[in-house]
Amino acid sequence: MMTRLFFLGVALIATTIMGCKPSVPAVRSDTGAVKTSTPKEKPMRVVIEQPASIDAFEETPLVAHIQGYVEWVHVDIGSEVKGPTYDAKGKMTKPGTLLAELSVPELIKELAQKSALVEQVKAELKQAEHGYKAADAHVRSADAYVREMQASIARANASRDRWQSELARVDDLYKKKIVEKQIVDETLNQYESAKAGCAEVKAKVESAQELAKESVAKRDKAKADETAAAARVKVAEADEARVKALADYRFIRAPIPGVVTRRNIHTGHFLQPNASGGPAVLFVVSQTDKLRIHADIPENEAQYMTGNLPAKIDVPIFKDQAFDDKVARTSQSLDAKSRTLRVEIDYNNKDGKLRPGMFANLIFSVPLGERYTLPATAIFTHIDQYCCWRVEAGKAVRTPIKLGIREGQDVEVLKMQKNGVWKAVSGSEEIIVTNLGVVSEGKEVRVEGR
């Protein structure tokens, strides 16, 4: 704003001092003499002032997620409320202040049904777990029986081999007529009995192995039944959690700490989400202990906006007090329609003096460092170009200049055009600063005091 006012002021000054001599010349000892000066370096700053809005740092409208009648309303406008609290892992440890409650008896009964179903499937899971344990124990028992029968095969084979050897020995003795035929027959019977015992044990082993396979199959089925029962528990618990989440929506709670700024419901109201094109707002909770003060900075001043830039907050209703803070953030890019940059300040409003909706002005004073300046009285316009009179070889030379900002009666000079070339200001240029009305292009200049 100050920058724009500068150009208007310079144009008015230049219009006044251009042209013929003033109708009432200044009282001088020599009206044809002028004063000169060189561009002076001085620390300059740009002052930017823009209207701003004061808003709650956060403002949350609350709507109904389920239908029901309003049973209780616990707050009214102006009520201070607390938001939920969380632990270090982000888990909620305490919900926000309860604002209102809805009556939803059908949903409560459905929740009770879902909870009972969860208990039922949990009991089925426990039964399936016991069945699996029993089947697993039977498998272990069958395996042990198989091992026992396999051990019996070894004993039966040993017995058969012993009687086979005994039969061969007795038969040899019989041939030598040492033993009688009856001994050979008895030994043969023992050998045949041992052979039969081997076959019997082998059959038992095969039967035990089949029983073991059957036990494993039953155990696998019991395991599958257990897995299916566990899955049913998860489904039932998820369904219960869904209904519980819906039922919990009957409690309208504050999502942030702050103040209730709007209340649109009363006891007995019937609420229905998505009715008439969209859910109605029940409450609005605004965080007012911290405020968001924002302004839109024009394009020509946006270049000076940076994070942490000090700002003065001027609130007209507090004529005797100014509020100081700094820029918290900018939008980084300009709005394509308005060509403005959004600037925001996070103001700590613990004392509650400022309120959302108030009007304010943001004032920024941005130091620019050392800049070359000329008095505003040394500047005029010529064919829509800012100029000054430069003394060169004792004569006046009209010199186009490019201007920066204005601070008081001093104007920043960015560049000068010398011999058709734009050059930076060196500070050694001799510039006419008074009595511009007696100066013309190429005219010899008489400087006061020379």
Give the Cα separation of 127 and 111 in Å (integer): 25
pLDDT tier at 24, thresholds 50, 70, 90? very low
> Regarding predicted confidence, which is higher, 327 or 208?
327
Q: Can you tell me the distance from the alpha carbon of 340 to that of 305, in angstroms, rounded to the nearest whole number? A: 11
**Segment (H or E) for 6:** helix 2-17
The HSE-up count of residue 444 (CA atoms within 13 Å, CB side) is 1
pLDDT at 8 over 80: no
* pLDDT at res. 7: 39
- Please report which residue ranges of 176-328 form alpha helices under DSSP H: 181-248, 299-302
Whether 2 shows a pLDDT value over 70: the answer reads: no
DSSP characters over 320-357:
T--EEEE--EE-SS--TTT-EEEEEEEEE-TT--S-TT
Paired sense of beta strands 329-330 and 85-86, if any = unpaired
Tens-place pLDDT, residues 265-295: 999 999 988 655 556 899 999 999 999 999 9
**Confidence (pLDDT) at 276:** 53
Rounded average pLDDT over 424-450: 92
Long-range contacts for 367-370 (Cβ within 8 Å, ≥24 apart)? Answer: 367/43, 367/44, 367/45, 368/43, 368/44, 368/45, 368/46, 368/405, 369/43, 369/44, 370/41, 370/42, 370/43, 370/44
Q: Per residue in 290-334, pLDDT tens?
A: 999 999 999 999 999 999 999 999 999 998 888 999 999 999 999
The average pLDDT across 217-235 equals: 93
Looking at residue 14, its pLDDT comes to: 41
Burial of 347 per CB tally in 10 Å (0-12, 13-18, 19+): buried
Percentage of the chain exceeding pLDDT 90: 69
pLDDT, residue 3, reads 42
How many CB atoms neighbour CB 431 within 10 A? 21
pLDDT of 5 reads 38
Give the count of beta carbons closer than 10 Å to the beta carbon of residue 331.
Answer: 16
Of 32-46, 54-68, 135-149, the one with minimum mean pLDDT is: 135-149
d(CA 110, CA 107) in angstroms, rounded, equals 5
Nearest partner of 356 among 294, 306, 407, judged by Cα: 294
Residue 235: its pLDDT value, please? 97
Mean pLDDT, to the nearest integer, of 361-386?
Answer: 95
Residues in Cβ contact with 3 at an 8 Å cutoff, skipping those fewer than 6 apart: 46, 300, 301, 405, 406
**pTM of the shown model:** 0.66
Residue 437 in this model has a pLDDT that exceeds 60 = yes
Is 80 exceeded by the pLDDT of residue 48? yes
Over residues 2-14, the mean pLDDT reads 40
Question: Which is higher by pLDDT, 12 or 416?
Answer: 416
In the prediction, which pLDDT does 361 show?
96
Q: For residues 139 and 234, which has the higher predicted lDDT (pLDDT)? A: 234
Rounded to 10°, the helix 181-248/105-175 angle is: 170
pLDDT at position 278: 54
Statement: residue 4 has pLDDT above 70: no
Kind of pairing between the strands at 359-375 and 410-418: antiparallel
Chain mean pLDDT for the chain? 88
CA distance 218 to 69: 55
pLDDT given at position 341: 97
Mean pLDDT, to the nearest integer, of 119-129?
95
Residue 390 pLDDT greater than 60, yes or no? yes
